[in-house]
Amino acid sequence: MSDNPQNNRYGAGSPASNGSLASRISSTLFHRRSTADANHVAQGSFSNRTTGTTTSGMPAASTSALSQRVQNNGNAIASVLRKTSTPNRAQFTPSSYPGITNLAIASQRAGYDSVAARNPDIQPTTQDRLQVQSRTVSDMQYRRFAQYIEEQSGIVLGDNKQYLVNSRLSALLLRFKVATIDELINRAMQPNIYKDISAAVIDAMTTNETLWFRDTYPYLALKNIILPELAKSGKTPVRIWSAACSSGQEPYSIAMIVQEQATNVVRIDPSQCQIIGTDISPEMLDRCRFAHYDNHALARGLSAERKAKFFKPTKDPNVMRIDDKIKQMVTFKQMNLLGSYSLLGRFDVIFCRNVLIYFSNEVKSQILNKFALCLNPGGYLILGSSESIQGLSDKYEMVRCNPGLAYRLKSAY
């Protein structure tokens, strides 16, 4: 695991109109990545370029390779590669196609901003340099911010994670026209006055990497053990919770598994399965509901067979959308795992993967015990591959799934 919060997240959002969705989405088509992954993208997408040379001035072989990278990485990254006459300064150029929406353009702009902010080859303009005075958090401000983030989201930053704060928050300086990270943090800690900044900062610190069918074994356990067990019991409806669902890959992967097992002799009827995805970030939930994914996201954990079966093309050749039969199976709600779960009801299965590792042991124990209150008798809890409940809760028994394991609520509870 990396230092950065990974995969799923811990909370989620309310429905929004197309207008508000476009204004609040920071990247519908591009996922924030951990610092390492962001560097990988920057290096992979921008390597082998001639510094200070426009695309048109590159040798034919380099131009061909560049064109292939543009095609592979989508329009927003492509726009970063289209350089102006000023050396080392990229210009945002949205793709165009019949029927393009403002939302699509806003998504491309957000993708451009995200890539440009992380690409060391792209130098800021003179105006940008004047606006941004410091992209480094001070030690005193870091300590205040670490306490604030733990109170708001449960994340424990610990010592010497200033680099993570700098990396995650730097891109917000120009967006909100704030000169320093310290000042950005000051405003974020006043949510009654700076609501948008506060939400964006929390979102930046809790947005994590995710992919389809991550680690494989939880989905095999769901398909081969848990769903058949529920089908034999005659339980309806079957309710599954994806806690901290990030940009939606996990709950939609669960929905695909339910659809795939519908051809089995002993099966759960997909129409009798309710899947709930929750997250702390309204922005992430907007992405989930929009359910459009670019080629980079689709390449992470998704087989060609499932892509053909469960996705539909869009007007943008670099983007596909979730098929309606999968999309309609999942409902998204905003929720912070530090709060109450009482309004969600009870579940047969809870997925909460790669989240608890970022909480203190006290908070982990509280969350595990609250999950137990949300599970039906004999219900299953599925955690990340590096997570354990040992010493944190006595309400579960371990079940070996070969491969992997799950935790089942003890009958006494």
Task: Please check the confidence at residue 251 and state whether its pLDDT lies above 60.
Answer: yes
Pick the CATH number of 217-409 from 3.40.50.150, 3.40.220.10, 1.10.1200.10, 3.10.20.30: 3.40.50.150
Structure tokens at 371: 């999950």
- Domain spanning 139-206, CATH architecture: Orthogonal Bundle (1.10)
Task: Please check the confidence at residue 28 and state whether its pLDDT lies above 60.
Answer: no
pLDDT, tens digit (0-9, with 9 covering 90-100), for 131-184: 666 788 999 999 999 999 988 888 888 888 899 899 889 889 888 989 999 999
Q: So what's the pLDDT on residue 57?
A: 44
389: confidence class by pLDDT, cuts 50, 70, 90: very high
The percentage of residues in the chain with a pLDDT greater than 90, rounded to a whole number, is 51
Q: Name which residue leads in pLDDT, 47 or 161.
A: 161
202 Cβ partners below 8 Å, 6+ apart? 149, 152, 153, 188, 280, 281
Q: How far apart are CA 46 and CA 316, in angstroms?
A: 22
Query: Is 401 exposed, middle or buried, given 0-12, 13-18 or 19+ CB atoms closer than 10 A?
Result: middle
32: confidence class by pLDDT, cuts 50, 70, 90: very low
260 Cβ partners below 8 Å, 6+ apart? 223
Q: So what's the pLDDT on residue 268?
A: 93
Q: How far apart are CA 338 and CA 76, in angstroms?
A: 35
Return mean pLDDT, the chain. Answer: 78
**Full-model pTM:** 0.65
Top-ranked range on mean pLDDT: pick from 4-8, 24-28, 368-372, 387-391: 368-372
CA-closest candidate to residue 374, choices 329, 337, 330, 406: 337
What are the residue boundaries of the structural domains of the chain, listed by start? 33-123, 139-206, 217-409
Range scoring the smallest mean pLDDT among 7-16, 41-50, 132-141, 397-406? 41-50
27: confidence class by pLDDT, cuts 50, 70, 90: very low
Q: How far apart are CA 40 and CA 410, in angstroms?
A: 44
Torsions phi, psi for 244 (to 5 deg): 60, 60
